[in-house]
Amino acid sequence: MKIQLGHSPDADDAFMFYALAYHKIETGEFEFEHVLRDIETLNQWAREKRLEVTALSVHAYAYVAKDYALLPFGASIGDQYGPIVVADREMTIAQLKQCKIAVPGELTTAFLALSLCLGRFSYEVVPFDQIFNSVKEKRVDAGLIIHEGQLTYSNFGFHKVLDLGEWWHEKTDLPLPLGVNGIRKDLGQENCRKISACLHDSIEYGLNHREEALAYAMKYARDTAKPLTDRFVGMYVNQYTQNLGERGRHAIDRLLHEAQTANLIPPVVLEIID
């Protein structure tokens, strides 16, 4: 059975799915076709049920929960760190609320978390890899940064205004769940569990063969040096990636609850394949 697996062309996702891409593990009757797109495209595609398995923003899950369940493996969760807001000058949170902010997509969890933090704010959707330039060219006042930019912003002369992972932890004492893997429920429970096991084995292979998987991930590192890529992979391929566990599940449930209470998402019931 062919399974289309959607994920971002990023070092952490590449690391996780290296074993699947290069047939390092047994996948039984499943043949995985890797579909690489930015996370906002994958979020939109999920609303169309386009892929059998796909990376999703936790924010987007609220809009596709009718068709997709979550897998317990492969999540991107930041424990006291996460997407950051940067500017070309120092500013306070109160000043930030008056700014126009470049965001990487309206369905990203970064956008949802920033909305919870600031309330309503002025923004412009900009591809994630063009946000630095938007701030530098003063088309916006600040930028919401995901991916490796969380580690490299100071190299470009930007100041960190807000770390949403730190903010969320101070508010809830929980890690910030950003990305998850969704699986189409129409595949049936048995197939969902078998595919889930394949993703688990791929992640475990990468962690047990770190140098091998990291060498592959470097192809998607967007010109960052190996030590920085290794650090980034370590941030988002962590204990919650191996298995959400109770704390990871609670973090997702809490984020969805807070967003529902703030009328930012529709009601949603969390469903995770066990």
What are 205-224's pLDDT values in tens digits?
Answer: 999 999 999 999 999 987 77
Specify the pLDDT at position 149: 85
Q: Which residues of the chain have pLDDT under 70?
A: none
CA atoms within 13 A on the CB side of 89: 8
Q: H helices within the chain, ranges in order? A: 11-21, 39-47, 58-64, 93-96, 109-118, 131-136, 149-152, 164-172, 189-208, 210-217, 226-236, 239-242, 245-261
Stretch(es) of the chain classified as CATH 3.40.190.10: 2-77+176-261, 84-172
Contact between residue 162 and residue 68 where contact means Cβ atoms under 8 Å apart: no
Specify the pLDDT at position 180: 97
Q: Could you say which of 3.40.190.10, 3.40.50.2020, 3.90.420.10, 2.20.140.10 is the CATH number of the domain covering 2-77+176-261? A: 3.40.190.10
Catalytic residues: 147
Q: Comparing C-alpha atoms, which of 246, 248, 245 is closest to residue 179?
A: 248
Mapped onto helix, strand or coil, the DSSP state of residue 83 is coil
Q: Comparing C-alpha atoms, which of 235, 28, 219 is closest to residue 149?
A: 235
Per CATH, the homologous superfamily of domain 84-172 is Periplasmic binding protein-like II (3.40.190.10)
- With b for 16 or more beta-carbon neighbours within 10 A and e for fewer, the 109-143 pattern comes to bbbbbbbbbbeebebeebebeebbebbeeeebbbb
Specify the pLDDT at position 95: 95
Specify the pLDDT at position 161: 97
